[in-house]
Amino acid sequence: MAQAATPTITQNILRDGLILPRTPDPAAMVIFGASGDLTARKLMPALYNLALNRYLPSGFSVIGVADTALTEDEFRAHMEQAVQKFSRSQPVDRAVWQSLAEGISYVRMPFDDAAGYGRLAAELDRLDRERGTNGNRVFYLATAPQFFSVIIDRLGAAGIAKAGEGWKRVVIEKPFGNDLKSAQALNQAIHAVFAEPQIYRIDHYLGKETVQNVLVFRFANGIFEPIWNRRYVDHVQITVAEDIGIERRGKYYESSGALRDIFQNHLMQLLSIAAMEAPPNFDADSVRDEKVKVLKSIHPIDVANDVVRGQYGPGWVGGQQVPGYRQEVNVSPASTTETFVAVRLKIDNWRWADTPFYLRTGKRLPSRASEIAIQFKNPPHLPFAKTAVQELTPNVLVMRIQPHEGASLKIAAKIPGPVMRLRTVNMDFFYGSSFMVESPDAYERLVLDCMLGDATLFAREDEVERAWGLVDRIEAGWASQPPPAFPNYAAGTWGPPEVDALIERDGRRWRRP
Amino acid sequence: MSTDHTELSARTFVDVHDIQEELDQVRWGLHADGEGSEAAQHAAAEARASVCNLIAVVSNEPELGEVMSVLDRLSVTNPSRTLILLAQHTREADKLEAEVSAQERTESGHRVSTERVILHAHGEPARHLASLATPLLIPDLPVILWWPGRPQFDNPLFDDLCELADRLVVDTDEGFDDSDLARLLEVARRNKAQASIGDLNWARLIAWRHVAAQFFDMPGMLARLAHVHGVSIFHGSDGQTAQARLLGGWIRSRMARVGIDVPLEFRPEDSLEHGVHRFLIYTGGDEGPARFSMSRLRGGRLSTQIRLGEQELAERTVRLESRATEELLGIELTLPGHDVLFEEALDAALR
């Protein structure tokens, strides 16, 4: 058959029908803090699993940067051990690891050493030449937060992050700032080198399958949105409860507390996705615009009446006796850091006006649970005798993030028998029972999204600053109060007694998740 | 992942109403009087997630055992109501028996239970099993018909079940020749065909397609796609060529979309090792000759390489999953509607 003129191909037609619309461009990922815990536990296993499952492009390269004395071979061996220990796919495929490891190199330098950045630039140039990374770079800041600004500054000064050939992106781990002012300062420092679309602020909660499933649950089912508003919803409870203590993170936690560690990020993210309007599409700005609108609509918090803080004392959790917070390693014996916070807030918009949202998070609570619970209003009239309905409780739709990911709906049903008696039953959907497949780690999803240039599941500047604004308001309120009488709850309980009062004065009760 | 597997009950029936009643019993944990212990009802409520109805057709007892164990393993990821039809219409005396059982599994703390009905028929009833299967399906859930081996295209049961099903799943790697592939395409293209076609062999090619597509995602490589002038597919010399044909059909059908007719070369290798061994795509044009190659390595790996003129570019090794039948079936259960790509590949493979 005679061949026609050569067609112009504008898209990869071999990709039709495959899950991902494209493979990321070949790129070099520079990991600052490469000898640290996050790199070993999360990043390198995530990269290995992405490589294993064919998501990484040919030529993908990693440069580890740290001030630890390691040769390149030692660094690779260290990373291999990390993958063997922490990868979700076992056993580790040696040939695939070898193929990935060929692109791994190491640059030893202190993060503020200008000369070191010259060596880093030379290494990046080598990768461009030899492995075809074409100037595409991800700078992953897996370091302690005090190094964020200096690394960004030095990257800028060395010209490594300069736009030119290829794209440049920076990934920043939480905590993103310590308050609104420091977050703004950090944003400013980053913006001196990177534009907002180049910045990927990680909150790994958003990489969790079940958090994304909340969006699917809300916006891919026609039956929930019509009742997802003040007309039908009595109130919403969002819980991020941990049964563990602070492990060995006393130093960090002393300067953070529950408000900064969980409330500012994970709880605000859950609040946003539970309360947001449907975005027109799932692109980064459409989704984040809607989330920011929720944060903008939060009614100013009356700290004295709407916030409860707590700190755990000694107690029993899961049959184990555990020390109080003040007895933990690297914690002051007179610490006033909160390990529990509960907030009652309202969202001033048409959907949610006068519908309270109760948020709580804490350490050393009786169980580990993250969930969004939507409690619906009672029916306007019950045509049954009072004795028939005494056991009835309102309908509650719970979206569980962890553990036992899924959803449950509490409904009323007749107790079988000759008389009309009603009771409440749970209809459960276990995510695991219907899709009992291994989910990718949140970091795999987020690293891949960053390489593909999709920032939907990353926090935007205004989102982060709005959340810090709330935290600052709460901190300011606390500063004007007398010092808290900590500890005020025993480990293994659901927080201080005041937390019950916070909700009970509205005629409501906390759920037991 | 810990697994605990319990057979809750297994009883034999011949009447469809009895079967339905027993299914209700095992599904909801109810006693004959319609009540059940609170614990049993709660357990049933926890275990109720079902994603589809799955009908498997087998023609002999040994095959039945294999199919049952595949479906058992599949039920972990896809809790379903399963009907297994052992249809032996060539055996003379009429016979119709049904066995209902429920299985319960606990996987990492999640409880999943499924119901299974085995319908065993000889003679005339074997041709009409679809009439018995219909009332036993869970309403509103899709019906997947899995026909292991070569389907009996001329058996009326095949047509009846295809009408009932939303998806027919076969494995063209199980001895399909060109005429079988053509019959399959015919089924997919029937007027008002309700059942879409899934092929486990097509699912095995995902990795090959993925890696081939990735070559042309690389900067500067997309333009070369317009200059594909040949494809070579090396395969085992064990006589099974359906997988190689499908892979060739796939690239040919994709390139046909932009008006390029790609000549295919199929080359059996000395090795008897089954399936596709190597897949080479040749391009030309102003940018010079290039070869994009993928080779299957031992241990479930795929090695990829690009040669531009005489220059070899970055090589890499990725996983080529050797998926068990239940995993391939699991992929098929999640695919919606007609797989146009597969149908086009099948069509191109036959041209």
Rounded mean pLDDT, A147-169: 91
Domain closes at, from A173, A197, A219:
A173
Q: Are residues A162 and A248 in the same domain?
A: no
Rounded Cα distance, A188 and A171, in Å:
15
CATH of residue A223's domain is 3.30.360.10
Query: Quick check: B320 contacting A, CB < 8 Å?
Result: no
d(CA B76, CA B330): 10
Of the candidates A266, A299, A381, A404, the residue annotated as catalytic is A266
pLDDT digit string (tens) for A184-205? 999 999 999 999 999 999 988 8
A228 and A325, same structural domain? Answer: yes
- What is the H or E stretch that residue B121 is in? strand B110-122
Q: CA A445, CA A392: separation in Å to the nearest integer? A: 42
Q: Which residue of B has its CA nearest to A14?
A: B213
Locate A36 and state its tokens.
Answer: 């640290």
Residues of B in contact with A26 (CB under 8 A): 218-219
Inform me whether the pLDDT recorded for A46 exceeds 90: yes
Is A274 among the domain residues?
yes
Task: Report whether B115 contacts B83 (CB < 8 A).
Answer: no
Q: Which among B76, B226, B254 has the least Cβ separation from residue A14?
A: B254
Q: Determine the Cα–Cα distance for residues B304 and A228; give it in Å rounded to an integer.
A: 50
What tokens were used for B160?
């009846």
Are residues B15 and B121 in contact, defined by beta-carbon separation less than 8 angstroms? no
CA dist., res. A68 & res. A109, Å (int): 8
Partner-chain residue, chosen from B207, B214, B319, that has the shortest CB–CB distance to A23: B214
pLDDT at A269 over 90: yes
**Domain final residue pick, A173, A198, A221:** A173
Residue B277 contacts residue B235 (beta carbons within 8 Å): yes
Is B218 near chain A, with CB under 8 Å?
yes
Same domain, A354 and A395: yes
Most B CBs within 10 Å, among A408, A433, A435, A448, to test the B interface: A433
Q: Which residues of B touch A51 (CB under 8 A)?
A: 318
Domains defined for chain B, CATH in brackets: 3-165 (no CATH), 204-319 (3.30.360)
Residues 6+ apart with CB under 8 A from B18: none
Instruction: Show residues of chain B in contact with A131, CB under 8 Å.
Output: 314
Place of tokens 């939480």: A174
Query: Any chain A CB within 8 A of the CB of B306?
Result: yes
Q: How far is CA A284 from the centre of its chain?
A: 16
Which of A150, A173, A196 terminates a domain? The answer is A173
At A46, is the secondary structure helix, strand, or coil? helix
Same structural domain for residues A139 and A270?
Answer: no
In a domain, residue A178? The reply is: no
Residue B13 is predicted with a pLDDT of 56
Question: Nearest CA to CA, how far is B161 from chain A (Å)?
Answer: 25
- Rounded Cα distance, B187 and B86, in Å: 22
In a domain, A509, yes or no: no
Write out pLDDT tens, residues A56-90. Answer: 988 899 999 999 999 999 999 999 999 999 999 88
Tell me which chain A residue has its CA closest to the CA of residue B77: A436
Q: Has residue B3 got a pLDDT over 50?
A: no
Give domain status of residue A80, yes or no: yes
Read off the pTM: 0.81
- For residue B177, the distance in angstroms to the closest alpha carbon of chain A comes to 25
Tokens found for residue B286: 């102003």
User: How close B90 gets to chain A, by Cα (Å)?
Assistant: 39
The domain that contains A160 carries what CATH number?
A: 3.40.50.720
B110 touches chain A (CB under 8 A): yes
Give A404-446 as a 3 state SS string: CCEEEEEEEEECCCCCCCEEEEEEEEEHHHHCCCCCCCHHHHH
Residues A263 and A355 in one domain: yes
Question: What's residue B47's pLDDT?
Answer: 44
Query: Touching check for B301 and chain A: CB below 8 Å?
Result: yes
Q: State whether residue A179 is helix, strand or coil.
A: coil
- B213 CB-near residues (< 8 Å, 6+ apart): A12, A14, A15, A18, A23
- Compare A262 and B13 and report the one with higher pLDDT: A262
Q: Is residue A510 part of a domain?
A: no
**Residues of the domain holding A90:** 22-173
* Residue B29 in contact with partner chain A when CB distance is under 8 A: no
Substitution target from B28, B141, B258 for chain A, most A beta carbons within 10 A: B258
The encoded tokens of residue A51 equal 């490589």
Structure tokens that stand for B346 in this block: 């099948």
A412/A420 Cα distance (integer angstroms): 12
Sign of CA dihedral A155, A158, A161, A162: positive
C-alpha closest to that of A54 among B303, B65, B85, B221: B303
How much is the mean pLDDT over chain A?
A: 90
Count of A–B CB contacts within 8 Å? 138
How high is the pLDDT of residue B30? 46
Q: Output the six-digit token pair for A404.
A: 């036992």
Q: What is the pLDDT of residues A22-40, one digit of tens each?
A: 788 889 999 999 999 999 9
What average pLDDT score do residues B6-24 get?
64
Distances (CA, A) of A5 to A11, B227, B258, B260: 18, 10, 11, 9
B240 vs B175: CA distance, rounded Å:
7
Query: How confident is the model at residue A1, as a pLDDT?
Result: 46
CA distance readout (Å), A377 to A208, A225, A349, A355, A380: 30, 15, 19, 11, 8
pLDDT at B107 > cutoff 90: no
Contact residues on chain A for B77, CB-CB shorter than 8 A: 435-437
Enumerate residues 6+ apart whose C-beta is below 8 A from B60: B86, B88
Question: A375 near A343, Cβ under 8 Å?
Answer: no
Classify residue A18 by burial, with Cβ atoms within 10 Å: 0-12, 13-18, 19+: middle
Whose tokens are 């909700």? That residue is A503
B116 SS3 class: strand
Question: Both A369 and A324 in a single domain?
Answer: yes
Which residues, at least 6 apart from B288, have a Cβ–Cβ distance to it below 8 Å?
Answer: B308, B309
Structure tokens at B78: 């896809």
Whether the CB-CB separation of A57 and A23 falls below 8 Å is answered with yes
> Are A161 and A220 in a shared domain?
no
Measured between alpha carbons, how far is B122 from A266 in angstroms, rounded to an integer?
61
Rounded alpha-carbon distances, angstroms, from residue A92 to A43, A460, B39, B319, B327 = 15, 36, 42, 11, 20
Top-ranked range on mean pLDDT: pick from A47-56, A228-237, B96-105: A228-237
**A47-53: average pLDDT:** 93
**CA–CA gap between residue B23 and residue B101 (Å, rounded):** 8
Q: Is B298 on the interface with A (CB under 8 A)?
A: no
Contact A429 B49 (CB under 8 A): yes
What's at B9, amino acid-wise? S
Could you confirm whether A78 is annotated as catalytic? no
- Does the distance separating the beta carbons of B213 and A18 come in below 8 Å? yes
Residues of A in contact with B108 (CB under 8 A): 432
- Residue A270 phi/psi, 5° resolution? -65, -40
- Within-domain flag for A151: yes
- Average pLDDT score over chain B: 83
A151: enclosing H helix or E strand: helix A148-157
Nearest one of B55, B125, B56 to B91, comparing CA atoms: B125
A452 and A315 in a common domain: yes
**Structural domains of chain A, count:** 2
A407 CB neighbours in chain B (<8 A) are: none
Q: Could you tell me how many residues make up chain B?
A: 351
Q: Is the domain of A312 the same as that of A434?
A: yes
Tokens representing residue B285 in the block? 């044009």
Residue of chain A whose alpha carbon sits nearest to that of B321? A53
A129 and A217 part of one domain:
no
pLDDT in tens, A356-387: 999 999 999 998 889 999 999 988 888 887 76
B112 to chain A: which residues are within 8 Å by CB? Answer: 433, 436
Q: What mean pLDDT is predicted for residues B67-75?
A: 89
Contact B77 A437 (CB under 8 A): yes
User: Is this prediction's ipTM beyond 0.90?
Assistant: no
Q: Do A144 and A266 share a domain, yes or no?
A: no
| Residue A115 forms part of a structural domain | yes
Task: Count other Cβ atoms within 10 Å, centred on residue A381.
Answer: 5
Whole-number pLDDT of residue A436: 52
At residue B26, the pLDDT reads 65
First to last CA, chain A: 69
Nearest to A119 by CA among A148, A169, A158, A157: A158
Residue B211, chain A, CB below 8 Å: the answer is yes
Q: Is residue A287 domain-resident?
A: yes
- CB crowding A385-398: b at 16 or more within 10 Å, else e: eeebbeebeebbbb
